[in-house]
């Protein structure tokens, strides 16, 4: 009897032997006992009869199938369809990153929407002149009411074929997708691809389980997902603070998988079906310390931070970093489908080649040292260059006004420059004698060696790391005093002393007047040195070696008949001359050397 109570699947319209069964079972369905596992319509949320379990049910009608099917006087549409067609036009899903042509709903999807768009009374059926009296006229607002706006729902009505899979390499070919997810007659995705309206054994009438997003990954093959933290993490998600209205069906990050960030229906952000409209909320929902071990929300609220709260609705995965509007969001630096845990034990040791992207930045786009966009950044600096190099979104003014002004970090770090900090490659100069082992001539730095959380090197493995926020500006890992009249101390130049030996500097082992300038004159490191570098298009090795690029708020032109100029001349190892005015003292070709 139970098997006789099962109703034909909508996709079985091409199989008459199953469709004909509907007429047989209509007279007996009301007598079928409830099925505990809801493997039939009886006892499920689609049981709208007077004995149905849901909030929407008939007041007197005992038949179960009548709300969708009728053996006589139906609409003429298979399988014996008993409902009127809903409106012909819907607002459909749109995305800058979709490769599919998404059309208006049709076929089985249109049948589902005859109830689930909320426009047609549930009791209004074609086989009867008068509507069936119901406890509610239409589906009430909520997760089952999709409305006529389908832009916040998983797209339907597009052909899922080899051509689409070829255009979108993160989709599996339909040839290898399980038969448990049937496509429409013409290979199109329908509501009934994921939902079996007659079988609620798995909940929400799904054809496959949501555990570890098995149903999602049957079609979606996201690069890096298998080893991504969001796919493997055993962290419990019961403490999520942002979305208490909708408890997730699984207890850990890995088990919830896609559902941790995405909603298949009625998503907060239409494009890419994110749970929350504000981009950062989708990340900070867990990374505020409620689930993730690190509280990154606090980092973003520090005095110097990447201002993710300042921008909304500007980031687009398809954006061109060279022309994008100014913004920063988590997804600019992290690919949530590929991000993994912290680096291995080698993290923090000096590199001799450019620093590779850390696991948290896997499969993120970037800009290479030549200024060309790359889909997958290999080096850490390539991710930073998206905003801090050639793009229109970079800062147009420097924090410090210098002789040579440059805010394009790609140009500042070029290894052909007169001087540079070694980010794109090693600096082969033996003039730098103050390096602290294991740093040495030939070592290469990453951007995050200087720009990082102020807690990154605290020794606490659960301390925040990465350039999210810092108490030191501009987003520095340690203190770096600038300007005039700075009292020298390990704390004042803590950033510099992470690599440079303080004793070597103050003992004048390289520049013979370091101590006089830094201690007695209280001139900061930044008064003379530009930390990133000086582009070869703006300076030369004679005037801008050793990162010399004077701060014009501290150093002023030499007055008189000297042309009011500021000039540094490199005259060989540890020697040179300066023409300038500093702290009220005018130097004219002032010579120094060892």
pLDDT at 143: 86
* Angstrom distance (rounded) from CA 249 to CA 145: 20
pLDDT digit string (tens) for 345-363?
A: 444 556 788 999 999 999 9
pLDDT at 457: 86
Residue 335 phi, psi (nearest 5): -100, 105
Cβ contacts of residue 368 below 8 Å, gap of 6+?
Answer: 374, 382, 385
Give residue 397's pLDDT band: very low, low, confident or very high (50, 70, 90).
confident
* Angstrom distance (rounded) from CA 590 to CA 568: 9
Question: C-alpha 586: how far from its chain's center?
Answer: 53
Share of the chain above pLDDT 90, in %: 76
- What is the DSSP secondary structure assignment for residue 226, as one 8-state letter? G
pLDDT at 12: 36
Nearest to residue 369, comparing CAs of 422, 306, 429?
Answer: 422
DSSP states of 374-413: ESS--BHHHHHHHHHSSSTTS-SS-SS-BSS----HHHHT
Residue 247 has pLDDT above 80, yes or no: no
**CA angle 12–18–23, rounded 5-degree value:** 120
Nearest to residue 270, comparing CAs of 147, 176, 180?
Answer: 147
DSSP states of 42-84: TTSTT--STT-SSSS-BSS---SGGGTB-SSS--S-TTTB-B-
* Angstrom distance (rounded) from CA 139 to CA 142: 8
Domain boundaries, the chain: 1-160
Looking at the DSSP bridge assignments, the partners of residue 171 are: 220
Q: What global pTM score does this model have? A: 0.87
Looking at the DSSP bridge assignments, the partners of residue 274 are: 262, 269
Residue 444 has pLDDT above 50, yes or no: yes
Cβ contacts of residue 83 below 8 Å, gap of 6+?
Answer: 67, 68, 75, 111, 114, 115, 120, 124, 125, 126
Contact 29, 40 (CB under 8 A): no
Cβ contacts of residue 451 below 8 Å, gap of 6+?
Answer: 467, 470, 474, 475, 476, 477
Higher pLDDT, 65 or 13: 65
* Angstrom distance (rounded) from CA 338 to CA 362: 6
* Angstrom distance (rounded) from CA 281 to CA 330: 10
Residue 451 structure tokens? 């720009």
Checking phi first, is residue 166 left (phi over 0); if not, alpha (psi -120 to 50) or beta?
alpha
Q: How distant, in Å, are the alpha carbons of 400, 512, 548 from that of 551?
A: 6, 20, 10
* Average pLDDT for 422-442: 91
Give residue 398's pLDDT band: very low, low, confident or very high (50, 70, 90).
confident
* Angstrom distance (rounded) from CA 189 to CA 155: 8
* Average pLDDT for 89-97: 94
Over the chain, what is the mean pLDDT? 89
pLDDT at 428: 80
Nearest to residue 467, comparing CAs of 284, 281, 296?
Answer: 296
* Average pLDDT for 532-545: 95
**CA angle 418–489–478, rounded 5-degree value:** 65
List the single range of 65-69, 292-296, 427-431, 513-517 with lowest mean pLDDT.
Answer: 427-431
pLDDT digit string (tens) for 158-197?
A: 999 999 999 999 999 999 999 999 999 999 999 999 999 9
What does the chain come to in residues? 594
pLDDT at 530: 97
Give residue 13's pLDDT band: very low, low, confident or very high (50, 70, 90).
very low
pLDDT at 39: 83
pLDDT digit string (tens) for 148-162?
A: 999 999 999 999 999
Nearest to residue 509, comparing CAs of 442, 571, 431?
Answer: 431
Residue 402 phi, psi (nearest 5): -120, 170
Residue 242 has pLDDT above 70, yes or no: no
Nearest to residue 182, comparing CAs of 196, 168, 201?
Answer: 196
Nearest to residue 328, comparing CAs of 391, 372, 371?
Answer: 391
Looking at the DSSP bridge assignments, the partners of residue 555 are: 582
* Average pLDDT for 514-526: 95
pLDDT digit string (tens) for 262-287?
A: 999 999 988 999 999 999 999 998 99
Residue 106 has pLDDT above 80, yes or no: yes
Q: How distant, in Å, are the alpha carbons of 83, 187, 508 from that of 69?
A: 8, 25, 92
Inter-residue long-range contacts of 404-408, CB under 8 Å, 24+ positions, other chains counted: 404/530, 404/534, 404/535, 404/538, 404/539, 404/544, 404/549, 406/532, 406/534, 406/535, 406/538, 408/535
Contact 105, 111 (CB under 8 A): no
DSSP states of 103-155: ----HHHHHHHHHHTS-S-TT-BTT-SSPPPBSSSSPPSSTT---SB-TTS--
- Please tell me whether residue 395 adopts helix, strand or coil conformation: coil
Give residue 30's pLDDT band: very low, low, confident or very high (50, 70, 90).
very low
* Angstrom distance (rounded) from CA 161 to CA 100: 10
pLDDT at 562: 56
Is residue 539 within a helix (H) or strand (E), and if so which, with residue range?
none
Residue 144 structure tokens? 């089952």
**Tokens 């970079």 label which residue?**
394
By CB neighbour count within 10 A (0-12 exposed, 13-18 middle, 19+ buried), where does 310 fall?
Answer: exposed
Give residue 322's pLDDT band: very low, low, confident or very high (50, 70, 90).
confident
């Amino acid at each position: 009897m139970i098997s006789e109570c099962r109703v034909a699947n909508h996709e079985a319209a091409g199989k008459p032997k199953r469709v004909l069964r509907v007429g047989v079972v209509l007279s007996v369905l009301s007598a079928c006992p409830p099925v505990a596992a809801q493997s039939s319509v009886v006892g499920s949320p689609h049981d709208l009869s007077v004995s149905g379990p849901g909030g929407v049910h008939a007041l007197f009608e005992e038949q179960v199938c009548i709300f969708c099917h009728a053996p006589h006087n139906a609409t003429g549409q298979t399988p014996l369809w008993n409902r009127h067609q809903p409106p012909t036009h819907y607002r459909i899903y749109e995305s800058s990153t979709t490769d599919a042509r998404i059309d208006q709903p049709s076929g089985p999807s249109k049948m589902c929407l005859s109830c689930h768009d909320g426009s047609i009374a549930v009791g209004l059926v074609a086989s009867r002149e008068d509507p069936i009296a119901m406890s509610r006229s239409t589906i009430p607002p909520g997760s089952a009411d999709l409305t006529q706006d389908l832009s916040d729902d998983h797209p339907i009505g597009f052909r899922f074929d080899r051509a689409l899979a070829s255009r979108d390499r993160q989709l599996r070919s339909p040839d290898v997708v399980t038969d448990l997810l049937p496509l429409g007659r013409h290979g199109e995705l329908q509501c009934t691809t994921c939902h079996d309206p007659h079988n609620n054994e798995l909940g929400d009438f799904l054809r496959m389980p949501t555990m570890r997003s098995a149903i999602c990954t049957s079609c979606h093959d996201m690069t890096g997902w298998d080893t991504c933290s969001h796919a493997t993490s055993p962290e419990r998600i019961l403490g999520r603070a942002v979305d208490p209205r909708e408890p997730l069906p699984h207890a850990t990050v890995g088990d919830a998988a896609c559902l941790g960030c995405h909603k298949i229906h009625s998503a907060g952000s239409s494009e890419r079906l994110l749970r929350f409209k504000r981009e950062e909320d989708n990340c900070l929902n867990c990374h505020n310390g409620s689930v993730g071990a690190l509280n990154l929300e606090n980092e973003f609220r520090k005095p110097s931070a990447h201002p993710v709260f300042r921008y909304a609705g500007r980031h687009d995965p398809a954006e061109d970093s060279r022309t994008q509007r100014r913004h920063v969001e988590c997804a600019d630096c992290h690919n949530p489908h590929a991000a993994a845990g912290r680096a291995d034990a080698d993290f923090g040791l000096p590199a001799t080649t450019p620093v590779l992207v850390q696991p948290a930045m896997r499969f993120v786009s970037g800009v290479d040292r030549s200024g060309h966009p790359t889909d997958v950044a290999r080096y850490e600096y390539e991710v930073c260059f998206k905003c801090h190099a050639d793009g229109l979104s970079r800062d147009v003014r420097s924090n410090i006004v210098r002789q040579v002004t440059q805010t394009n970090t790609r140009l500042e770090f070029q290894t052909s420059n007169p001087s540079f900090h070694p980010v794109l490659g090693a600096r082969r100069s033996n003039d730098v004698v103050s390096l602290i082992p294991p740093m040495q001539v030939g070592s290469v730095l990453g951007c995050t060696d200087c720009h990082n959380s102020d807690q990154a090197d605290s020794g606490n493995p659960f301390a925040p790391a990465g350039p999210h926020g810092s108490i030191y500006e501009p987003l520095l890992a340690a203190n770096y005093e600038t300007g005039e009249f700075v009292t020298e101390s390990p704390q004042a130049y803590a950033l510099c002393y992470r690599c440079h030996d303080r004793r070597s500097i103050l003992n004048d082992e390289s520049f013979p007047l370091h101590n006089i300038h830094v201690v007695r004159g209280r001139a900061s490191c930044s008064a003379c040195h530009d930390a990133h570098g000086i582009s070869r298009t703006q300076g030369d090795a004679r005037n801008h070696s050793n990162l010399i690029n004077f701060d014009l708020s501290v150093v002023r032109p030499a007055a008189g008949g000297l042309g009011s100029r500021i000039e540094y001349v490199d005259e060989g190892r540890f020697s040179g001359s300066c023409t300038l005015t500093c702290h009220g003292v005018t130097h004219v070709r002032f010579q120094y050397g060892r």
